[in-house]
A and B are shown apart, each in its own frame.
Chain A
């Protein structure tokens, strides 16, 4: 194409971009946290339609072993609303397969929002923070959502054809729902006996975590986050509600990062698609 014929096309493109930027639906270069008096708890709440969207491209986690070698989820769309004391992020991404159970070689879809624990000029490393520079993570998992939504805590929910002769906690000498029966069940469920937050059953589909570098992920001492995920025809829409992050006040800017795990791609832990730090700005109340 000659230069003379290219010019009108470029001009038209500039006009189109300018027009889109006036719309509330135009992609925002940073994550803009919009102020509202009430926080939407549902991914389909109409309030989300008035919030600017930030489209965050996802990159491979290929910094530390185990690494993800083949890319999966391309991007995640992010919206955010705050009432001044809490902030809710809405993440949506395309995912052709619904993976909401975990079993051998089968993994759950999941997503997470990460923020620095403190405001500091030198931000933590975007991949799970670093020693002395803690990051806070709110993590949502599709299998936990299924548990919250009513999936029973039995092996038949995972394998409908399973036939089990007997569990020790079903002994006739142990009354149903008695403490003795629960104690017997815990004997054969060490992760639950130790209070491992992974071990379910779940009351919330999300978990508060902190980290100071790869491999250091730990449940936060006091988790106040909550959330809800919905499966759509195209993928997942998830809201994650958490306490207001440090530094994210009316005059402050902070950083936020996102991660998405594609269960059917055997993604878990460090094998994930992630962003680097994305600027996050709290809009002043109008």
Chain B
């Protein structure tokens, strides 16, 4: 085991390999507040990548309802239970990561889902934590609540799948940090399936190898966002590059949301993988649950999100505006501008759409207008 720095947990930790960050790291922001669980992302991925034999059950992208939705079943609860109660202290994780809690003979603490655990991808869908009485939803956070959690591979800085593979069949690309299973080398030991805490590596029973989300790297290499991002009708997602905190740039959209404004949080940072998909937490769920899921600071993140200044509101307006990756951005008055890496303008979006007020009765056509679509 080597000692590596994990900024998400605020300390050094043990990892199977020495620290080796890519020259650029793929990252993403998901705004949970905008997700309606339409599963268009899921189908976009399914159609593009996992329509073959042996891939029938695979959802490299899925959307589950929290707290009672899981794919595979209880993926997070089982590991949280195995890990046991752990402590954060002032932004530093004082508990054990899955690498530090590994049992004898293992490289990471994990468990392997049985095939039946994948059989109900929509379990718990839209299930609220409790009975909603009259008026219960009018308070924030809600007394009874649920929210949608869209999930892909986190293309972690310290992937457990990569660490666990005994034959080095999983690699992290130095040019963009995307984590891939070498389909020519994998021998289907399923160690990666067991080790990945997010359960985003899937065993293909027809090929005998394990497969996972590839961040649509053929698109990303051309400066285009992955399929699940560009097909999102709620425009909840943005893909880009993240810098380490000490090199954060305010004109990098991902850096701005994660490091500057600190409104986007990693999923289960305490597991120790430094995942690179970041979530803007739901404003209506209780902080105790959110802090367990996204680490400390979710209250401040929600407060900043709800009181967004013009810059933050402007950047959020860029979500879903183009298929292209937006390496840089800036705001000019009421316009938000996405830019290429060299600073040239890619597109501009008004922060506020113009409002047109029309009379209820259309004299020209002699009909009454309605608000129905």
- Interface residue ranges, A against B (CB under 8 Å): 62, 64-69, 101-107, 143, 153-155, 158-159, 162, 164, 167-169, 185, 187-196, 198-200, 214-217, 266, 268-271
Contact A104 B166 (CB under 8 A): no
Contacts of B183 in A (CB 8 A): 190-191, 193-194, 196
Chain B positions 176 through 214: 1 when the CB is less than 8 Å from some CB of chain A, otherwise 0: 000000011111111101000000001111111101000
B196 CB to closest chain A CB (Å) equals 13
CB distance A102 to B168 under 8 Å?
no
Contact of B208 among A102, A195, A217, A266 (CB under 8 A): A102
B166 engages A270 (CB within 8 Å): yes
**When the two chains form the complex, which single residue of A169, A188, A196, A214 contacts B186, counting CB atoms closer than 8 Å?**
A196
In contact, A191 and B105 (Cβ under 8 angstroms): no
- The answer to the question of B365 belonging to the interface, with a C-beta cut-off of 8 Å to chain A, is no
A185 touches B105 (CB 8 A): no
| Complex interface bits, B42-79 against A, C-beta within 8 A gives 1, otherwise 0 | 00000001111111100000000000000000000000
A-B contact pairs, 13 of them (CB 8 A): A66-B191, A67-B106, A104-B115, A106-B115, A188-B50, A190-B207, A191-B183, A194-B184, A198-B208, A199-B206, A214-B166, A268-B187, A270-B189
Residue in A198, A214, A215, A270 whose CB lies within 8 Å of B188: A198
Give bound CA distance, A126 to B49, whole Å: 41
Residues 115-138 of B contacting A (Cβ, < 8 Å): 115, 117-118
Residues of A within 8 A of B117 (CB): 104
Which DSSP category, helix, strand, loop or mixed, fits chain B's interface? loop
CB-CB under 8 A for A269 and B208, given A105-B190, A185-B53: no
Are B209 and A196 closer than 8 Å at their CB atoms?
Answer: yes
Contact B107 A158 (CB under 8 A): no
Chain B CB within 10 Å, residue with most, of A67, A107, A169, A269:
A269
Closest CB-CB distance, B265 to chain A, in whole Å? 30
Contacts of A189 in B (CB 8 A): 52-54, 206-207
Q: How far is the CB of A160 from chain B (nearest CB, A)?
A: 13
Cβ-defined contact, B205 with A102, below 8 A: yes
**In the complex, chain A residues whose CB is within 8 Å of the CB of B166:** 64-66, 214-215, 269-270
B114 CB-CB contact with A under 8 Å: yes
B207→A104 contact, CB < 8 A: no
Q: Which residues from chain B contact A69 at a C-beta distance below 8 Å?
A: 104-105
Q: Which residues of A contact B193 (CB under 8 A)?
A: 104-105
Known contacts A268-B188, A269-B166, A104 near B118 by CB under 8 Å: yes
A104 vs B184: C-alpha distance when bound (angstroms): 19
CB distance from A259 to the nearest CB of B (A): 14
Interface set of B (CB-CB < 8 Å, partner A): 49-56, 104-107, 112-115, 117-118, 164, 166-168, 183-191, 193, 202-209, 211
- Most chain A beta-carbon neighbours within 10 Å: one of B104, B168, B204: B204
State whether B189 touches A268 (Cβ < 8 A). Answer: yes
Q: Are B54 and A102 in contact (CB under 8 A)?
A: no
Q: Which residues of B contact A169 (CB under 8 A)?
A: 52
Alpha-carbon gap, A207 to B136, bound state (A): 63
Q: In the bound complex, what is the Cα–Cα distance between A199 and B190 (angstroms)?
A: 14
- Point out the residues of chain A lying under 8 angstroms from B206, CB to CB: 153, 155, 158, 189, 199-200
Q: Are B54 and A266 in contact (CB under 8 A)?
A: no
Q: A67-B105, A155-B206 are in contact. Are A188 and B53 (CB under 8 A)?
A: yes
The 7 closest A-B pairs by CB, nearest first: A188-B52, A67-B105, A269-B189, A194-B184, A103-B205, A191-B207, A199-B207
> Which residues of chain B have C-beta atoms less than 8 A from A68's C-beta?
105
Least CB distance from B99 to A in Å reads 12
Q: Is the CB of A105 within 8 A of B113?
A: yes
User: In the complex, which of the residues B56, B118, B191 contacts A155, with contact meaning CB atoms closer than 8 Å?
Assistant: B56
Q: Which of A101, A190, A214, A269 contacts B187 (CB 8 A)?
A: A269
Does B104 contact A191, Cβ atoms closer than 8 Å?
no
Closest CB of chain A to B234's CB: distance in Å? Answer: 26
Closest to B203 in A: A104
Please give, as numbers and ranges, the residues of chain A lying within 8 Å of B208 by CB-CB distance: 102, 143, 191, 198-200
| Interface residue from A66, A154, A215 paired with B168 (Cβ < 8 Å) | A215
B52 (CB) vs chain A CBs: closest residue: A188
Known: A167-B53, A268-B188. A198 touches B106 (CB 8 A): no
Given A68-B105, A190-B183, A200-B206, verify A103-B52 contact (CB < 8 Å): no
A154 to B56, CA, bound (A): 11
B53 & A217 in contact (Cβ 8 Å cutoff): no
15 more CB-based (< 8 A) A-B contacts, given A155-B54, A215-B167? A66-B107, A102-B188, A104-B114, A105-B190, A155-B53, A167-B53, A190-B207, A191-B207, A193-B183, A196-B183, A214-B166, A217-B167, A268-B187, A269-B167, A269-B189
Within the assembled complex, what's the spacing in Å between the Cα atoms of A221 and B41?
42
Interface centre among A67, A69, A103, A154 (most CB of B within 10 A): A103
Q: Assess A266 versus B112: contact at CB under 8 Å? Given A198-B208, A215-B166.
A: yes
Task: Report yes or no: A105 in contact with B115, Cβ–Cβ below 8 A.
Answer: yes
Cα distance A67–B164 when bound, in Å? 12
B94–chain A nearest beta-carbon distance, Å: 26
